[in-house]
Amino acid sequence: MVSDFAIGIHDLSFSTTEFVLPHAILADHNGTEINKYHVGLGQRSMSVPAADEDIVTMGATAAEPIIARHGTDHVRTVVFATESSIDQAKSAGVYVHSLLGLPSATRVVELKQACYGATAALQFALGLVRRDPVQRVLVIASDISRYDLDSPGEATQGAAAVAMLVGSDPALLRLEEPSGLFTADVMDFWRPNYRDAALVDGQESVSAYLRAVRGTWGDYTDQGGRPLDEFAAFCYHQPYAKMAYKAHRHLLEHCGHPTGEAEVARAVGRTTAYSAVIGNSYTASVYLGLAALLDEADDMTGRPIGFMSYGSGSVAEFFGGTLAPGYREHLRTTAHRGVLDRRQPVDYATYRELYERSFPADGGDHPTPPQTTGPFRLAGLRGHQRVYERRAPVSARSSAEAGDLRRLPHEGHRPAPATS
Ligand code: CAA
């Protein structure tokens, strides 16, 4: 069914972490030839959360500029998609709702299906807006990707949040029907409740992803979707940047199209600009790809973009969208680049120390060291409850508080900057 009004992404904003680990430092530590990371995975660096950052602070930071620009009128639903959830019962979105001061007349829910969750959120949002075109839905995808230290997955960690305002007559992207769907019960990547880091069968996960590319495309075609050559670019889920190239080459081959490097790079190259320096942001990643494409590409008004969202386990969806007239006036390119530029590089020891941090489960009072300079912080865990703070802008803080920002309580210093 095709609706008689356009629905899609009206605004999009992303955030990432305070710190960043260059892959050159990881390679130095574990003896890996750096081109395996730079060329083989297509990764230059990965975002590393500060002790007082998590999926809530990143999600609120991503969403705040959207609320500042559009207000809360007509936002009656917040869908928070994540696979690095902080609570088995309460939605991380409720904390964001509170930090952003959203009205009580809002429904808030958390969604999970590995890296596919944000696409499910987007599809739910479309249904809500179709039912009542005046309503807008705030979709937040926020994840911290975490694998065991010294495992092959370690180099594919990262963290980011993407916030999207979904509504009718969207300023950025008009989403289209049909969708191509694919589900297969496979153990390629999963995280049992008792583990902080994911378990993964790396090579099987790549094969499962590629099977899902074929599966979603087959269903998309069966449902009457566009021919492949109508798409100007493709946003794939990016566990690492090279996976987008691999996936698109696979799709071209599957469809009997030429698979030259230039053709593949033309279709996906610009979508990898942010994930190549942020790393895997799990369910945010495909929309981080969209942000990169919008910020990097020349005017693509009216051009169809293909999306392939893959969540291990596995559920995947292929769908299209077209860029709305005038979309470039609504982009946040400068802010997005600023989010990357403000990250502080850390050395390996600091990365490891941050990785190994965890809250005791004793119900005590466990404040976190103030490390992030962002607008929201996780102040600590008290009586088993996460405590969040909205911070005053840096210019409004006292000099004593500003001094605290540079100090780790246990050592008296902010993490050491990376030297290479
Ligand atoms: N110079 C250039 N390239 C090099 C190189 C060098 N010195 N050394 C290795 N390479 C290349 C390899 O040829 C290989 O390229 P291809 O993929 O084109 O074959 C690439 O670098 C990676 O090398 P390996 O496969 O040998 O690397 P690995 O054994 O360390 O595993 C990985 C790679 C499976 C992605 C691993 O990092 C991992 O398990 N990551 C986590 C899981 C993951 O990201 N899966 C992706 C699909 S699942 C998904 O998308 C969901 C999700 O978010 C998790």
Q: Is residue 2 part of a domain?
A: no
Q: Is residue 79 part of a domain?
A: yes
Does the Cβ of 239 fall within 6 Å of ligand 1?
Answer: yes
> Is position 112 annotated in a ligand binding site?
no
Cα 286 to middle of ligand 1, angstroms: 18
Give CA–CA dist 211/318, Å, rounded.
Answer: 13
Q: Is residue 369 part of a domain?
A: no
The CATH number for 27's domain is 3.40.47.10
Query: Considering all CA atoms of the chain, what is the largest pairwise distance in Å, rounded to the nearest integer?
Result: 64
Report yes or no: 121 and 129 within 8 Å, Cβ to Cβ: no
Q: How confident is the model at residue 391 (pLDDT cuts 50, 70, 90)?
A: confident
Could you read off the pLDDT of 62-85 as tens digits, one per residue? 999 999 999 999 999 999 999 999
Give CA–CA dist 304/3, Å, rounded.
Answer: 18
Cα 281 to middle of ligand 1, angstroms: 16
Catalytic residue among 10, 23, 237, 248: 237
Could you read off the pLDDT of 213-253 as tens digits, one per residue? 999 999 999 999 999 999 999 999 999 999 999 999 999 99
Q: Is residue 372 part of a domain?
A: no
- Answer yes or no: 235 catalytic: no
Ligand 1 atom 54, closest CA: 239
The reported pLDDT for the residue numbered 3 is: 57
The reported pLDDT for the residue numbered 4 is: 75
- Answer yes or no: 356 catalytic: no
Give CA–CA dist 105/321, Å, rounded.
Answer: 30
**Count of structural domains, the chain:** 1
- Answer yes or no: 115 catalytic: yes
What's the burial of 383, exposed, middle or buried (CB within 10 Å: 0-12/13-18/19+)?
Answer: exposed
Q: Is residue 386 part of a domain?
A: no
What is the bridge-based pairing of β-strands 233-236 and 304-311? parallel
CA distances from 145 to 47, 134, 153 (A): 10, 35, 10
Give CA–CA dist 155/318, Å, rounded.
Answer: 27
Catalytic residue among 10, 53, 64, 115: 115
Length of the chain: 420
The boundaries of the domain holding residue 308 are: 7-341
* Rounded percentage of the chain residues whose pLDDT exceeds 90: 92
Ligand 1 atom 37, closest CA: 153
Measured from the Cα of 285, ligand 1's closest atom is 53
What does pLDDT average to over the chain? 93
Q: How confident is the model at residue 86 (pLDDT cuts 50, 70, 90)?
A: very high
Q: Is residue 400 part of a domain?
A: no
What value does the mean pLDDT take over residues 17-27?
A: 98
Cα 41 to middle of ligand 1, angstroms: 6
Report yes or no: 92 and 82 within 8 Å, Cβ to Cβ: yes
Pocket test for ligand 1, best of 36, 249, 259 (most atoms within 8 A of CB): 36
- Residue 5 is classified by DSSP as S
> Any idea what the Cα angle at residue 160 is, between residues 344 and 97, rounded to 5°?
115
Q: Is residue 97 part of a domain?
A: yes
Q: Is residue 360 part of a domain?
A: no
